[in-house]
Amino acid sequence: MRGCYLDMINPIPEGTSVKVCLRCDKGTFEAPGKVVYCQPGFGMGIAFGEVAPAQQKILETWLAEFAGNI
Protein backbone atom coordinates (compact mmCIF):
# COMPACT_ATOMS: atom_id res chain seq x y z
CA MET A 1 0.00 0.00 0.00
CA ARG A 2 2.89 2.35 0.62
CA GLY A 3 5.31 1.44 -2.13
CA CYS A 4 6.67 -1.16 -4.51
CA TYR A 5 9.82 -2.93 -5.64
CA LEU A 6 10.99 -2.65 -9.24
CA ASP A 7 13.25 -5.32 -10.76
CA MET A 8 15.85 -3.69 -12.99
CA ILE A 9 19.50 -4.19 -13.79
CA ASN A 10 20.39 -0.50 -13.48
CA PRO A 11 18.30 1.07 -10.69
CA ILE A 12 18.40 4.82 -10.20
CA PRO A 13 20.07 6.30 -7.12
CA GLU A 14 18.54 6.28 -3.66
CA GLY A 15 16.77 9.57 -2.89
CA THR A 16 15.68 10.19 -6.48
CA SER A 17 12.10 11.45 -6.91
CA VAL A 18 10.05 9.49 -9.45
CA LYS A 19 6.54 9.31 -10.86
CA VAL A 20 5.11 5.81 -10.52
CA CYS A 21 2.72 4.69 -13.26
CA LEU A 22 1.46 1.11 -13.06
CA ARG A 23 -0.84 -0.13 -15.81
CA CYS A 24 -3.17 -3.09 -15.73
CA ASP A 25 -6.04 -4.13 -17.97
CA LYS A 26 -8.32 -2.65 -15.32
CA GLY A 27 -6.81 0.83 -15.18
CA THR A 28 -3.77 2.87 -14.27
CA PHE A 29 -2.32 3.80 -10.89
CA GLU A 30 -0.22 6.96 -10.68
CA ALA A 31 1.56 8.51 -7.70
CA PRO A 32 4.71 10.42 -6.88
CA GLY A 33 7.42 8.35 -5.27
CA LYS A 34 10.99 8.31 -4.03
CA VAL A 35 13.70 5.66 -4.33
CA VAL A 36 14.28 4.48 -0.75
CA TYR A 37 16.83 1.74 -1.44
CA CYS A 38 18.85 0.30 -4.31
CA GLN A 39 20.24 -3.12 -5.03
CA PRO A 40 22.62 -2.60 -7.98
CA GLY A 41 22.07 -5.30 -10.56
CA PHE A 42 18.72 -6.29 -9.04
CA GLY A 43 16.30 -3.38 -8.50
CA MET A 44 15.05 -0.69 -6.17
CA GLY A 45 12.40 0.05 -3.58
CA ILE A 46 10.02 2.95 -4.15
CA ALA A 47 7.97 4.63 -1.40
CA PHE A 48 4.81 6.33 -2.65
CA GLY A 49 4.29 9.98 -1.80
CA GLU A 50 0.87 11.61 -1.49
CA VAL A 51 -1.60 9.27 -3.22
CA ALA A 52 -4.86 10.83 -4.47
CA PRO A 53 -8.02 9.15 -3.09
CA ALA A 54 -9.09 7.85 -6.53
CA GLN A 55 -5.62 6.35 -7.07
CA GLN A 56 -5.68 4.82 -3.58
CA LYS A 57 -8.97 3.08 -4.43
CA ILE A 58 -7.44 1.61 -7.61
CA LEU A 59 -4.47 0.28 -5.65
CA GLU A 60 -6.68 -1.19 -2.91
CA THR A 61 -8.87 -2.92 -5.51
CA TRP A 62 -5.86 -4.43 -7.29
CA LEU A 63 -4.29 -5.69 -4.07
CA ALA A 64 -7.58 -7.23 -2.96
CA GLU A 65 -7.87 -9.00 -6.34
CA PHE A 66 -4.30 -10.31 -6.15
CA ALA A 67 -4.93 -11.56 -2.62
CA GLY A 68 -8.05 -13.37 -3.82
CA ASN A 69 -10.44 -11.28 -1.74
CA ILE A 70 -12.63 -10.22 -4.66
pLDDT for the residue 65? 87
pLDDT for the residue 25? 80
Residue 70 pLDDT class (50, 70, 90 cuts): low
Distances (CA, A) of 8 to 3, 4, 21, 61: 16, 13, 16, 26
pLDDT per residue over 21-41, tens digit each? 999 887 899 999 999 999 999
Q: What is the mean pLDDT of residues 53-65?
A: 93
Structural domain that includes position 62: 3-66
Q: 37 and 31 in contact (C-beta within 8 Å)?
A: no
Q: What is the pTM of this model?
A: 0.85
Total domains, the chain: 1
Q: 38 and 44 in contact (C-beta within 8 Å)?
A: yes
pLDDT for the residue 67? 85
